């Protein structure tokens, strides 16, 4: 009887089955996997079905950083398998629940190993040394794995140095339910061959053999052919025998729905911003004059999926919370990179990051949030960055670059030494257009030049200091850019908030009516009443605490919504905005 334990490690591929930009189609105990190596070397083993419409991901496109489904073009990130882009919803950031099921994948002995629910590590095999091996051609066959493993004990072969002989003495060194280690000796030549039998399904297997010594050139080929010939003969006999036996029912793997962790709403806590993830500062460096770069690695497990334009909250040792954009390119999912500019009038945030936080320190961060999503359906995209405003736009530009989509990145800074992350912007080629040392008037003239000649299906993404953003938005409007094509993110809201009004908020879904007195925010009052609301910057810049207005007239005081959105009166940033009417009805 075939042992179908999900805890046992099995090989599912050879390392050489995962060449550059390929997706391998694997199967173990009935369950299919799409296995692919990203350009950074990480091996992904995913359930072989797009969670959208069930199409096999093994026919998808490996672009080196993401896997794109052939059916509707949904893109999934290296490592996390989280969705980063849905072409049918180009303006939206995909929800974090859109994550394909992943399985462990470990490379050992020239093979890729996996298991549904492994315990411990991939077992060590005595006699095999990493790096000094010869992996034989895998032999798929239509016979049950237990039968195959049993027959492999009678496999006879010549040691590698003595292929022309026929007198080798073969002994079984070890044998298990899915493996056999055989040693062939002929004179002074000896070769250890370890065979692993991959149970593909109840009646299908792959024989994966590994020899104990590395060979080169013609000798290597001769040994590979020697075993291929013998194993093919063994396959033919085994298939004949298996065909005489009653065919076992195929194993039917359970396709699980979204994992419980993802399916549940995050735990409601009435006290504001959450710092769910612990990261270590793996590297801190000068990303530019006055800008510190930080590489944040997870203490355990994987970081959540991020999309270009996303930011995280960083909780600092001094108790302050600040937002920083992730600068990573697509699929670069082993750490988060951020850039922190030392502000002259720092209230303690940037100075803490610059002066106190060191390499090796542990920080708490929030999950990435994306309130500045990037469309990937524009004919051309124009990025305009001012100073440290480069950070979200670097991530965006790298994503478009990877998909070979047209863009320009205009980067305004005082001088060359202030251009941050040169190792990233350097990969963008001619699309990077630095503009150095311009006065506000010269900047305005340059923006006018960049934004002249608006064409449909061009999109503009702005990030930089407030005055520059105001100027760019005004110029864009004058030059005929529709508001829907102009996307922006402010660092902070410099407006003076008028919180003198007092009004009522009715929460339509929670069936509560609350009073917001002068001096308090909607966000505070709603949370105090036990209704969970996400928030991040809490000054009307980042877009996290957005709520939908059903009735009443909002008094907008944020810098997140654009003018058309503000005029429509259907959205409100609950951390700073209030009501002009006596009552607001919110969809909360």
Residues contributing to the site for another protein (CB under 8 A): 13, 16-17, 19-22, 24-25, 27, 39, 59, 61-64, 68, 70, 137-138, 140, 220-221, 224-225, 228, 232, 401-404
Residue among 27 and 536 whose Cβ is closer to another protein = 27
> Which residue stretches of 44-110 are H helix?
none
Q: Are 396 and 427 in contact (CB under 8 A)?
A: no
The residue (of 140 and 270) whose beta carbon lies closer to another protein is 140
CB of 24 to another protein, least distance (A): 6
User: At closest approach, how far in Å is the CB of 325 from another protein?
Assistant: 23
Whichever of 153 and 225 has its CB closer to another protein, that residue is 225
Q: Which is nearer to another protein, 6 or 21 (CB)?
A: 21
> What are 514's strand-pairing partners?
505
Strand partners, 314: 322, 365
Least distance (Å) from another protein to the CB of residue 378? 16
Comparing CB distances to another protein, the nearer of 25 and 492 is 25
Alpha carbons 114 and 101: distance in angstroms, whole number: 13
Query: Which run of H or of E encompasses 222?
Result: helix 217-244
CB of 404 to another protein, least distance (A): 3
Find the shortest distance in angstroms from Cβ 157 to another protein.
18
CB of 505 to another protein, least distance (A): 49
- Bridge partner residues of 46 (DSSP): 34, 102
- Which is nearer to another protein, 214 or 225 (by Cβ)? 225
Q: Indicate the residue among 26 and 468 with the shorter CB distance to another protein.
A: 26
Which structure tokens are listed for 21? 């930009």
- Rounded to a whole number of angstroms, the minimum distance from the CB of residue 457 to another protein is 20
Closest distance to another protein from the beta carbon of 531 (Å): 45
61 three-class SS: strand
* Nearest residue to 484 via CA among 454, 460, 463: 460
Nearer to another protein, 204 or 375 (CB): 204
- Beta strand pairing call for 407-413 and 380-386: parallel
> Are residues 306 and 326 in contact, defined by beta-carbon separation less than 8 angstroms?
yes
Q: Which residues contact 145 (CB under 8 A, 6 or more apart)?
A: 2, 178, 197, 198, 199, 200, 205
Q: What six digits make up the tokens of 510? A: 């929670």
Q: Which is nearer to another protein, 232 or 494 (CB)?
A: 232
Does the CA dihedral 89-90-95-101 come out positive or negative?
positive
Question: How crowded is the C-beta side of 127, counted as CA atoms within 13 Å?
Answer: 16
Contact at 8 Å (CB) between 421 and 390? Answer: yes
Residue 135 C-beta: closest distance to another protein, Å? 11
Q: Phi/psi class of residue 525: alpha, beta or left (left: φ > 0; alpha: ψ in -120 to 50)?
A: alpha
Find the shortest distance in angstroms from Cβ 25 to another protein. Answer: 5
179: left (phi over 0), alpha (psi -120 to 50) or beta: beta
Q: Report the residue number, 197 or 338, with the smaller CB distance to another protein.
A: 197
Residue 20 or 249 having the CB closest to another protein? 20
Calpha distance 533→546 (Å, rounded): 9
Shortest distance in whole angstroms from residue 220 CB to another protein? 8
Angle of helix 145-152 versus helix 217-244 axis, rounded to 10: 130
Question: Would you tell me how many other CB atoms lie within 10 Å of the CB of residue 219?
Answer: 12
Query: CA-CA distance, 410 to 476, in Å (whole number)?
Result: 15
């Amino acid at each position: 009887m075939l042992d179908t334990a999900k805890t046992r490690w099995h090989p599912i591929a050879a390392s050489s089955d995962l060449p550059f930009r390929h997706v391998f189609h694997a199967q173990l105990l009935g369950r299919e996997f799409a296995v692919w190596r990203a350009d950074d070397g990480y091996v992904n083993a995913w359930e072989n079905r797009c969670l959208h419409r069930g199409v096999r991901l093994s026919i998808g496109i490996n672009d080196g950083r993401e896997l794109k489904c052939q059916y509707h073009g949904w893109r999934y990130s290296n490592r996390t398998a989280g969705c980063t882009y849905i072409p049918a919803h180009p303006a939206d950031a995909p929800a974090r629940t859109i994550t394909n099921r992943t399985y462990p994948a470990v490379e050992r002995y020239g093979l890729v190993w996996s298991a549904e629910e492994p315990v411990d590590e991939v077992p060590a095999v005595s006699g095999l040394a990493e790096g000094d091996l010869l992996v034989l051609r895998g032999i798929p066959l239509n016979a049950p794995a237990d039968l195959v493993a049993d027959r492999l004990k009678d496999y006879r072969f010549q040691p590698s140095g003595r292929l022309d002989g026929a007198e080798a003495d073969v002994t079984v060194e070890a044998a298990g339910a899915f493996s056999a280690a055989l040693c062939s000796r002929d004179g002074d030549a000896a070769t250890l061959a370890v065979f692993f039998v991959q149970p593909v399904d109840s009646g299908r297997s792959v024989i994966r053999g590994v020899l104990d010594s590395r060979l080169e050139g013609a000798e290597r080929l001769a040994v590979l052919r020697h075993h291929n010939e013998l194993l093919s003969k063994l396959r033919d006999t085994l298939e004949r025998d298996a065909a005489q036996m009653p065919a076992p029912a195929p194993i039917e793997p359970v396709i699980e729905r979204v994992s419980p962790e993802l399916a549940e709403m995050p735990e409601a806590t009435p006290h504001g911003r959450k710092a769910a993830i612990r990261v270590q500062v793996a590297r801190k460096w000068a990303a530019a004059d006055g800008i510190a770069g930080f590489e944040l690695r997870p203490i355990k497990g994987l970081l959540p999926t991020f999309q270009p334009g996303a930011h995280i909250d960083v909780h600092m040792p001094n108790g302050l919370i600040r937002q920083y954009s992730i600068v990573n390119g697509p699929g670069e999912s082993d750490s988060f990179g951020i850039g922190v500019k030392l502000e002259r009038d720092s209230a303690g945030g940037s100075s803490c990051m610059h002066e106190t936080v060191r390499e090796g320190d542990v920080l708490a961060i929030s999950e990435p949030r994306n309130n500045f999503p990037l469309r990937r359906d524009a004919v051309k995209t124009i990025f305009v960055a001012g100073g440290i405003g480069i950070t979200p736009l670097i991530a965006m530009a790298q994503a478009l670059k990877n998909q070979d989509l047209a863009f320009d990145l205009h980067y305004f800074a005082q001088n060359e030494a202030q251009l941050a992350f040169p190792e990233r912007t350097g990969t963008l080629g001619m699309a990077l257009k630095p503009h150095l040392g311009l006065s506000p008037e010269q900047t305005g003239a340059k923006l006018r030049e960049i934004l002249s000649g608006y064409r449909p299906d061009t999109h503009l993404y702005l990030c930089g200091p407030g005055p520059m953003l105001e100027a760019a938005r005004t110029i864009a409007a004058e030059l005929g850019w529709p508001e829907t094509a102009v996307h922006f993110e402010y660092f902070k809201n410099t407006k003076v908030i008028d919180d003198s009004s007092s009004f009522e908020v009715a929460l339509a879904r929670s069936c509560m009516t609350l009073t917001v007195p002068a001096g308090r925010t909607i966000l505070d009052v709603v949370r105090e009443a036990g209704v969970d609301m996400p928030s991040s910057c809490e000054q009307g810049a980042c877009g996290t605490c957005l709520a939908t207005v059903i009735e009443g007239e909002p008094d907008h005081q944020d810098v997140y919504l654009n003018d058309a959105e503000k005029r429509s009166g259907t959205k409100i940033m609950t951390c700073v905005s209030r009501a002009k009417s006596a009552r607001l009805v919110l969809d909360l």
